[in-house]
Amino acid sequence: MADAHDELISLHRQMLLIRRFEEAAARAYSQGKVGGFLHLYIGQEASAVGALATLGAGDSVVGTYRDHGLALARGVTARACMAELYGKVTGCSKGLGGSMHFFDAEKRMLGGDGIVGGHVPVAAGVAFASKYRGERDVTLCFLGEGAVSIGGFHEALSLAALWSLPLIVIVENNEYSMGTPLSRTLSVHDTSEKAHGYGIARDRFHAHDVLEVKRRVGEAVARARETSRPTLIEVQTYRYRGHSMSDPGKYRTADEIEAAKKTDAIAGAELALRAAGLGDAFFAEVERSVDAEVDDAVRFADESAEPGEELIEALTYA
Amino acid sequence: MRELRYREALREALAEEMERDPGVFLMGEEVGYYQGAYKVTEGLLERFGARRVIDTPIAEEGFAGIGIGAAMAGLRPVIEFMTMNFSAVAFDQILNHAAKIRQMSGGQFKCPIVFRGPNGAARQTGAQHSQCFEAFYTHIPGLKVVAPATPADAKGLLKAAIRDDNPVLVLEDERLYGVKGEVPDGDFVVPLGVSALRREGDEATVVTWGKMLPVTLAACEELAKEGVACDVIDLRSLRPLDLGPVLRSVAKTGRALVVQESWPFGGVGAEVVDRIQREAFDALRGPVLRVTGRDAPMPYNKHLEDLTIPSADTVARGVRALLAW
């Protein structure tokens, strides 16, 4: 029990860090310090944090353009992430990737991909490499439910199933493909049903409880590690913010968003920890340390150097 | 030195690199049990096993992407497209993933992968199966593109492509697969980005690559009988592009013609023309000309197909037009 308690303390802090980091990123965007697209993960934190808590150092993570939470949960520093948003050379992709392209070779974070569904075959290839080498590493691939309609998702699942690759595909169903609700993009409510067509294992659950996310994804990770079989998982979640910063959000009501917040996983984790005896002083300290980490990241990003012109062509070829 | 067919030279390159590096594997439609749609991979399944010679379903985006992910994870995949035409359905993987990973990751990841298969017209395969892809792929920073015209280059360039740390498109040719030529013994590697002088003459410089090389050489053989001797330069590698020998030749001849099988709009020939006019302007006696494929989808009819692709006659006419300027 003590282990689970300590773990929840850690996961709660990770989720809070992602949320505060992204709130700071949104402020920086409004100030013009962050450019391009900024897709926030706020509301979905338990998905990445719970899922990545199951991984070891040799496992790999591949995600979409909504990748800040993934990178932070994978242990990429807030400094490197914020600096990337600021386009600074100290960023996790040297300021050449931006919000949508967070990479960290050491942490085995392989993007940050901006083409919907295009990264799923790539993730399958990373899993293929593990199997080819006879290693026990697994690959987690994240995508939104909006990506379930595109071909790359299906070809990747088809091949991962055929070749029995150690791949876990996690569809984060946040109910909206940009501004279009799932009911208008898919003929099924449950995207994990797509697994039937490929004869692979499936699972579906809410991301209300980060420990439950960890437990359920952990089953799939164990299956991949032990038997090299892929799994398709739908994590039911909700993003409180728009698709990107330019989203006016006219496709849903404020009431709907407020209702979703009632099952907020960070609040849920806090309640569970309070029930286990932790009090205001503890949570104040967590808030303080998270704020300090984010403030430090913002300051670091602000003060870091821009990448030099010499990098424009230099990083095109190996 | 032995005489090998172009497809045998490719096969030797694959086998030698697979022997040399356990991270090299081959993946594509019909590459294993079927022995290759064009028999390039004949015998490789028996020699290296199904772990390294992998038959795929018809899912180019899927297996091209799997190759890219495997390359990012440190392997050296060789992805065969049954024809380059089918690479079009994997274009997103090549354009947005293979070519971008290095830069988008701030240089943390590399993508050492080869995409290979026959490019351009076969024989009467119609509009969807006769296309040249060099204009598309050479346009993209992050990719390298080669187009071997001889069995020796087929072997040497493929070996160099497999060893390269970047995505390399190897544009083979169905009409060349059966062509025989001398191939040096041993570990024969042709570096990427080095063009080759194939024939010498003072009257004009003719630049080409791939299956247009034998066509161009045939044209120049005929022209030689009329007393017109040409330098013929085989680019071999289209990106990186080695125009040093071309510029030196133009300095001598003052006339240049580019021969390409592909469509005229934009493309590699246009790039070569631009470079010649900028870098050898003072030597030129007239405009740099091109002989290209006709600006239309490939017709099925044999007579029309022959008229659509440059022939020795059209190349010779191109050289005469240079001389008449």
ipTM for this prediction: 0.96
Neighbour-count burial for A301-318, b at 16+ CB within 10 Å, e otherwise: beebeebeeebeeebbbe
Q: Which helix (H) or strand (E) holds A101?
A: none
Q: How many domains does chain A have?
A: 1
Instruction: Search chain A and give the residue with CA nearest B90.
Output: A152
Contact B188, B155 (CB under 8 A): yes
Residue A120's pLDDT is what? 98
A205 falls within a domain? yes
Nearest CA-CA distance, residue A31 and chain B, Å:
25
**DSSP per position, B132-157:** --HHHHHTSTT-EEE---SHHHHHHH
Question: Is residue A315 included in any domain, yes or no?
Answer: no
- Closest CB to B104: pick one of A62, A96, A124: A96
Whether residue A80 has pLDDT greater than 90: yes
Mean pLDDT for A283-308 is 98
A202 within a domain of the structure (yes/no): yes
- Strand order across the beta sheet in which A201-206 lies: A103-104, A109-113, A60-64, A139-144, A167-173, A231-236, A201-206
**What are the tokens at B272?**
């070569």
A127 with B69: Cβ contact below 8 A: yes
Contact A111 B92 (CB under 8 A): no
Domains observed in chain B? 2-183 (3.40.50.970), 196-324 (3.40.50.920)
Mutate to test the interface with A, among B60, B104, B140, B164 (most CBs of A within 10 A): B104
Q: What are phi and psi of B145, to 5 degrees?
A: -140, 130
CA gap B317, B295 in Å, rounded: 18
Q: Are B110 and A97 in contact (CB under 8 A)?
A: no
Which CATH number belongs to the domain containing residue A273 in this structure?
3.40.50.970
B38 vs A: CB within 8 A: no
**Residue pair B80/B117 in contact by the 8 Å Cβ criterion:** yes
Cα A12 from Cα A159, distance rounded (Å):
36
Three-state DSSP class for A104? strand
Catalytic residue flag (residue B60): yes
**Model confidence over A196-235: pLDDT tens digits?**
999 999 999 999 999 999 999 999 999 999 999 999 999 9
The reply to whether B56 touches chain A by the CB within 8 Å rule is yes
Reduce the DSSP state of residue A93 to 3 states and report it: coil
Tens digits of residue pLDDT in A89-104: 999 999 999 999 999 9
Tens-digit pLDDT string for chain B (325 aa) = 899 999 999 999 999 999 999 999 999 999 999 999 999 999 999 999 999 999 999 999 999 999 999 999 999 999 999 999 999 999 999 999 999 999 999 999 999 999 999 999 999 999 999 999 999 999 999 999 999 999 999 999 999 999 999 999 999 999 999 999 999 999 999 999 999 999 999 999 999 999 999 999 999 999 999 999 999 999 999 999 999 999 999 999 999 999 999 999 999 999 999 999 999 999 999 999 999 999 999 999 999 999 999 999 999 999 999 999 8
Please indicate, yes or no, if residue A241 is contained in any of the structural domains.
yes
Rounded average pLDDT over A63-77: 97
In a domain, A310, yes or no: no
Query: Is A317 domain-assigned?
Result: no
In a domain, A318, yes or no: no
Could you tell me if A30 and A307 are in contact, meaning their C-beta atoms sit under 8 angstroms apart? Answer: no
Structure confidence at residue A2 (pLDDT): 60
Note whether B141 contacts A: Cβ–Cβ < 8 A: yes
Inside any domain, residue A311: no
**In chain B, what residues touch A96 (CB-CB under 8 Å)?**
103-104, 106
- pLDDT exceeds cutoff 60 at A165: yes
Are the beta carbons of A318 and B73 separated by less than 8 Å?
no
Residue A1: pLDDT band (50, 70, 90) is low
Classify residue A179 as exposed, middle or buried by CB count within 10 Å of its CB (0-12, 13-18, 19+): middle
What pLDDT is recorded for position B120? 97
Average of pLDDT values for A71-76?
A: 98
- B163: chain A residues, CB-CB within 8 Å: none
Inter-chain contacts counted by CB atoms under 8 A, chains A and B: 144
Q: Tell me how crowded residue B123 is: count the other CB atoms within 10 A of its CB.
A: 10
Check residues B163 and A247 and name the one with the higher pLDDT: B163
B51 to chain A: which residues are within 8 Å by CB? Answer: 132
List the catalytic residue out of B60, B134, B172, B261.
B60
Judged by CB atoms closer than 8 Å, whether chains meet at A155 and B62 is answered as yes
Domain of residue A124: give its range: 2-305
